[in-house]
Structure 1
Amino acid sequence: MKGTRDYNDIIGGALMMAGGAWFSLYAMNYNLGTLRRMGPAYFPLCIGLLVMLFGLLLLLPALRRPGSMPLPEWRPFLAICTAVLAFALTVERFGLVPATFVLTALAALAELRPNLRLTAVLAVALSAIAVAMFTQGLGIPIPAFRWNH
């Protein structure tokens, strides 16, 4: 059903603006600092404001562009939410690599017919990247594997 507005971009722009506003407001819990001596809130505040600006730039033209009302697809939504929750519940107990495998496998269920070979390759690659980035690069003490609890 065609409408007088592009609701996909209106909803997307509004969500971007809300997310940017939340990020910016949360950043204000920290010291902003100055331009010469930036505090911990400076960069997150700037990113939040930029996301809000991009959301506004997405939303405004959509108010005058025809479009249709989007229909929600529940399977991908539930698969992604379940994958993120499962990662959060397994990373501390089993380690970063098993949690990343669980995350990738459950997120693949967002597709109608997930490709098992591609999902396995993606899980291996994401696990390697996560270990390299978080434990080696950033020095975050998340064990790659945790067998004894």
Structure 2
Amino acid sequence: MPAFIRHPKDFWIGIIFIFFGLCAVVIGQDYGMGTTGRMGPAYFPVVLGGLLTLIGAIGIIRSFIRQGEAIGRIHVKELVLILAAVLLFGYLVRNAGLVPAAIVLIMVSAFASPKFHLGKTILLAVGMALFAVVLFVKLLGLPMPIFGPWFGA
């Protein structure tokens, strides 16, 4: 890293925020913007993308001013496990249902932690799955299967 970048973490997170913010703004250009009173489909993503870009620019500026620690190693195994858990959830929620998908999401993503304990993780997974059913299916009324076609429901 160049010597004038005093806080590498702020610098790189600023770069990431600017990248995703500008992507949202560019993609949003294909839709109608509308006005503040009558927002079009591009309004929300473009405004949020602009704000994300602004936050990224502030992070980069702060990286030149504030002292900070260097970036440590990238935890590839943990990143892959968490990404796999989210992808599995997206696939399973439609076919297996909310409960199995939530349990798999929590079990796989918890395995990424060095503090993983099977018993505690099972309790957490079951509790969070029940919470998700109560919140999303019962209280909010989302049309989401609790147990999907794979379980004959």
TM-score, normalised relative to structure 1: 0.80
Identity %: 32
Contact 1:101 1:127 (8 Å CA) reproduced: yes
Q: Which residue type is aligned with residue 86 of structure 1? A: L
C-alpha distance in 2 between matches for 1:31 and 1:108: 42
C-alpha distance in 2 between matches for 1:47 and 1:71: 30
C-alpha distance in 2 between matches for 1:25 and 1:124: 41
C-alpha distance in 1 between matches for 2:32 and 2:134: 30
Tell me the alpha carbon deviations over residues 60-88 of structure 1, each in whole angstroms, 9 at most, x when there is no partner: 22135454243211221121111112212
Tell me the alpha carbon deviations over residues 14-64 of structure 1, each in whole angstroms, 9 at most, x when there is no partner: 111112222233333332211111123212221121111111111122135
Contact 1:100 1:126 (8 Å CA) reproduced: yes
Contact 1:13 1:58 (8 Å CA) reproduced: yes
Q: Residue 74 of structure 2: which of 72, 75, 78 is its match?
A: 72
Could you say if the C-alpha distance between residues 34 and 100 of structure 1 is closer, same or farther in structure 2, counting changes exceeding 3 Å?
same
- Structure 2's unaligned 5+ residue stretches are none
SS, match of residue 35 in structure 1: coil
Contact 1:14 1:55 (8 Å CA) reproduced: yes
Q: Indicate yes or no: 2:24 matched with 1:23.
A: yes
TM-score, normalised relative to structure 2: 0.79
Q: Which residue type is aligned with residue 70 of structure 1? A: G
Q: CA RMSD in A?
A: 2.7
Structure 1 window deviating more from structure 2 (114-123 vs 45-54): it is 114-123
Contact 1:20 1:50 (8 Å CA) reproduced: yes
Contact 1:8 1:70 (8 Å CA) reproduced: no
Structure 1 window deviating more from structure 2 (30-39 vs 20-29): it is 20-29
Matches within 5 A, 1:1-149: 4-5=4-5, 6-66=7-67, 67-132=69-134, 134-135=136-137, 140-146=142-148, 147-148=151-152
- Structure 1's unaligned 5+ residue stretches are none
Could you say if the C-alpha distance between residues 86 and 51 of structure 1 is closer, same or farther in structure 2, counting changes exceeding 3 Å?
same
Structure 1 window deviating more from structure 2 (135-144 vs 56-65): it is 135-144
Aligned residues: 149
